[in-house]
A and B are shown apart, each in its own frame.
Chain A
Amino acid sequence: MISTASFDFVADLQRRETAMRCEPGKEYLVEARLLPLAREAGYEDVDAYVARLRVDAAARADAVDALTINETSWFRDLAPYQTFTDTMLPALLESRAHVRHLELWSAACSSGQEAYSLAMLLRENLPPGWTATIHATDVSRAMLTRVKAGRYSQVEMNRGMPATRLVRWFERAGSEWQVSEELRSMITTEQLNLAAPFPPMRRFDVVFLRNVLIYFDAQTKSDILRRVHHTVAPDGFLLLGTSEYALDAGPGWQREVSGKTWMHRPEGARPATPAAGAAGPAGVRGGAGSAPARPLATTVPATATASFSSTLGTVARAGTGATLPTSLTPQGA
């Protein structure tokens, strides 16, 4: 097991480089992430490798990259993506009809599964003539290189990617799969440390900042949310992780619920859902198992209101006439 001194050095390195906390108790994780690098570099154990890190800046950068890699799934948690197609997209198709263009930000994009999941939903749901850009940022340059390449291992492809989308949007590339040029052309990348002041940025219609704030301390969280506020359009949307919905985002934000998902919105934004505001998820939508409502279905082009089950669901049953259950309503559990 990694020594306390080595662990403290690595934790401090990660905090300085990324502002992410790495607390005692995570020794096992650090060991698991660094051991392959250590072995690759010819060291017997992690302690010997950490000694090298103390004097080798390039190795330190690799170590930080390895420590910040998070396991990511396509369409992770499903519900936020359902909210995106069912609520945010219809509202934006109405409000952006004059420019027919959407700007999204996938913050802390890791290897890009979130950005490309959104690209697929946009390509499948945007009416003809509309365009969209997804800005993918991460503290790790290695991650951004991966996002740009759009190549994923077999094991990564298995994680939550519906088979129908796999065959539609990916091609084999050696031992990996590569996302189509059509989707890659929608993505821009930029190295960005959320914990430091942001460079000048565009205004985004939707910001996905999911499952990353949990790594920061309270003050840093609050600073990040204040900076993000400046980048969200006045009628735009911010989505946090499933375990972060309850978070008090601080001044300037209001919360709105759609389905199972809490959206954070700049104060004063006109609600995207009719019953938004005080009521909790159950009050708005009824209990679990009720069909997701599509409140703006009558006011947006029909192409944009295809139900989530048909767009995210896996496949039409071949010749059976049966309907797939929607992803959010477990049947006969």
Chain B
Amino acid sequence: MTTTTDTPVDTVVRVEDVRALLDGVWESFLGAEEPLLTAALPAHLGGWTAAVSVTGTWRAQITIEVVDPLARLVTAHMLGRDEEPAVEDVRDALGELVNMVGGNIKSLHHGTAMLSLPWVGYGEDAPPPLLRETCRLDLTWRGLPLRVLVHVSASAAAADERRHSG
């Protein structure tokens, strides 16, 4: 393997690592009794999208998509309340969820990088990533779908693939 000064740090994000980090977040805040299960999901879930970006020696965007009933269930769990959460609560809880997942994914790499504040929207796509999808987890929790996506910088990913294949 050759290393040059303009070679980006390793940008491969292993799906097992993302799954392990996600399980950690889920078990800590939503309980270990009901595990996240791998599922086949439609291309478009509809509902909430929460995203954070990583900038620095590597670039990435971490996105969580959830249907509305799951978003509300997760929020109620995190707030420890039975009643229906307000829209602002859902927005905040999803933002914190993607912040935790994204921050942990950022630490998979040794480079120096910054985590953005979270972006959360309903019925919209996350800001278009000028990045290439490198990791996708399609899951259900209590029968409700969610998706986790990791996009990395296209140029960085291409360079990385060359290094790994060479």
Contact = CB atoms under 8 A, between A and B. Distances in A.
A66 to B, nearest CB: 12
B108 A36 contact: no
B21 interface: yes
Contacts, number: 32
A164 interface: no
Contacts of A99: none
Given A35-B33, A39-B37, A154-B21, A175 B104 contact: yes
Contacts of B27: 155
Contacts of A31: 33
Q: Chain A contact residues: over half helix, strand or loop, or mixed?
A: helix
A31 B21 CA distance: 23
A31 B16 CA distance: 25
Contacts of A32: 32-33
A116 B127 CA distance: 45
B35 A175 contact: no
A176 interface: yes
B9 to A, nearest CB: 13
Contact of A35 (B35, B104, B108): B35
25 contacts: A32-B32, A32-B33, A35-B33, A35-B34, A36-B32, A36-B35, A39-B35, A39-B37, A154-B21, A154-B104, A155-B24, A155-B27, A155-B28, A172-B107, A172-B108, A172-B110, A174-B14, A174-B108, A175-B16, A175-B17, A175-B18, A175-B20, A175-B21, A175-B104, A175-B108
Contacts of A176: 20
A33 B37 CA distance: 15
Interface of B: 14, 16-18, 20-21, 24, 27-28, 32-35, 37, 104, 107-108, 110
Given A35-B35, A172-B108, A175-B21, 17 more contacts: A31-B33, A32-B32, A35-B33, A36-B32, A36-B35, A39-B35, A39-B37, A153-B20, A153-B24, A154-B24, A155-B24, A172-B110, A174-B14, A174-B17, A175-B16, A175-B18, A175-B108
B54 to A, nearest CB: 15
Chain A, interface size category, equals 10 to 19
Nearest to B37: A39
Going nearest first, the 5 A-B pairs with the smallest beta carbon separation are A175-B17, A175-B20, A155-B24, A36-B35, A174-B17
Contacts of A172: 107-108, 110
Nearest to A171: B110
A31 B31 CA distance: 14
A32 B33 CA distance: 5
Contacts of B37: 39
Contacts of B108: 172, 174-175
Interface string A221-253: 000000000000000000000000000000000
Contacts of A175: 16-18, 20-21, 104, 108
B103 to A, nearest CB: 10
Contacts of A155: 24, 27-28
Contacts of A39: 35, 37
A35 B16 CA distance: 20
Nearest to A37: B35
B97 to A, nearest CB: 15
A39 B32 CA distance: 13
Nearest to B24: A155
Nearest to B32: A32
A333 to B, nearest CB: 25
A175 B106 CA distance: 10
A172 B21 CA distance: 13
Contacts of B28: 155
A39 B142 CA distance: 12
A31 B104 CA distance: 30
A32 B16 CA distance: 22
Contacts of B24: 153-155
Interface in A21-38: 31-32, 35-36
Interface string A154-170: 11000000000000000
Contacts of A36: 32, 35
A31 B110 CA distance: 39
Contacts of A153: 20, 24
Name the residue in A31, A32, A154 with the highest tally of chain B Cβ atoms < 10 Å from its Cβ: A154
Contacts of B32: 32, 36
A175 B24 CA distance: 10
Nearest to B22: A175
A72 to B, nearest CB: 15
